[in-house]
């Protein structure tokens, strides 16, 4: 059995390997950013409920 860097199917055709980009949008970063935004929004709603008015009302 020979070892090669690319995976092959049973028919011998090469299977393309997905490489992640080094920059730009990543799925993990986008999920984390969305979750943090949701937590921030919920915290803002809770703060407004506790204060009895909006955050920007002075």
User: What is the per-residue pLDDT across 6-47, written as a single tens digit (0 to 9) for each?
Assistant: 566 777 788 888 777 677 777 888 899 999 999 999 999 999
Q: How far apart are CA 42 and CA 50, in angstroms?
A: 12
The 3-state DSSP class for residue 1 equals coil
Whole-number pLDDT of residue 6: 59
Closest CA to 48 of 35, 39, 57: 57
Q: Is the pTM of this model over 0.75?
A: no
Can you say how many angstroms the Cα of residue 53 is from the centroid of all Cα atoms in its chain? Answer: 33
Residue 36: the pLDDT is: 96
Rg of the chain on CA atoms, in Å: 24
């Amino acid at each position: 059995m020979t070892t090669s860097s690319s995976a092959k199917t049973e028919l011998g055709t090469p299977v393309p390997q997905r490489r992640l980009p080094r920059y730009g949008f990543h799925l993990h970063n986008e999920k984390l950013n969305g979750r943090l935004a949701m937590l921030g929004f919920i915290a803002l709603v809770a703060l407004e409920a506790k204060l009895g008015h909006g955050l920007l009302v002075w």
